[in-house]
Structure 1
């Protein structure tokens, strides 16, 4: 029965003991010329898709909108889900759910006004897709390749360690 204090306590105990998942949410953003936006984080080597980690109890689509606003000053109203990747534990990290959303095409004016607005991003650049993909870390590149294919074929994908099932 909802509102029963003993039932709520039982459920709260179960919630406290269940596994937690890390969640990342990234965006595919293209320029009018079809080039792909990447960002250069200050806290690690190499380039990334724009986006980042979700905060506690934050929906993935809210996380990517927040990250785009905080890091690039972009406000994105419309997102389309492209894929989610379950990544097994690796190195010091537990497993991860990595989401990729289509954040659309920026006009030339929007792209010109965009600038890193957070100390986590040193620069951003639009690359030809063939140039962008090799710049991404392996796991993120696998998600980006699948997400780009979803843009072409329209069917969202579930991935396991970057491989579509």
Structure 2
């Protein structure tokens, strides 16, 4: 017999068992930041090849938007107010990795008066580059996501992607 909420201890144990069997998703949270000239901020991670948007992986039970803000503080010393969601991308299992959900948030425009430099060992460089150059520098999966983020920014609405492709 399935426990009911009338027996809180049994009910919570039942829910905990179900929770333990649920899939866990990896969550990435990146930020699209621009300078007054419209260039895009890219970072060069030391732990993987290629350039990327600033951001990173969420910690356990951390909301994606807080993960993005935390990563910007840790890696670049920037405290950025996010302006909204641009992209959600479901990424299928690949290589040794399970599936993942990747978010891109709009970080707006930085005034350009601050020199951006890495604040930890995870990044070797950070710089603003024109969008066309940014699309050349990032890897294929991020290229599709960045292109969608720019489309979402101009359309004024977030986009949902499935492995980097718009689904509707």
By the TM > 0.5 criterion, same fold?
A: yes
- Matched position secondary structure for 1:83: strand
Relative distance call for 1:95 and 1:73 in structure 2 (3 A) is: same
Can you list the C-alpha shifts for 1:63-116, whole angstroms capped at 9, x where unaligned? Answer: 000000000000012331001000100011100101000001000213x2x221
1:16 paired with 2:20, answer yes
1:63 paired with 2:61, answer no
- Matched position secondary structure for 1:86: strand
- Matched position secondary structure for 1:26: strand
User: RMSD in angstroms over aligned alpha carbons?
Assistant: 1.2
Q: TM-score, normalised by structure 1?
A: 0.95
- Match for residue 86 of structure 2 among 59, 82, 85: 82
- Match for residue 136 of structure 2 among 134, 137, 143: 134
Q: For residues 3 and 115 of structure 1, what CA distance do their matches in structure 2 show? A: 55
Larger radius of gyration: 2
Paired residues for 1:15-164 under 5 Å = 15-110=19-114, 112=115, 114-164=116-166
Q: For residues 157 and 72 of structure 1, what CA distance do their matches in structure 2 show? A: 27
Q: TM-score, normalised by structure 2?
A: 0.94
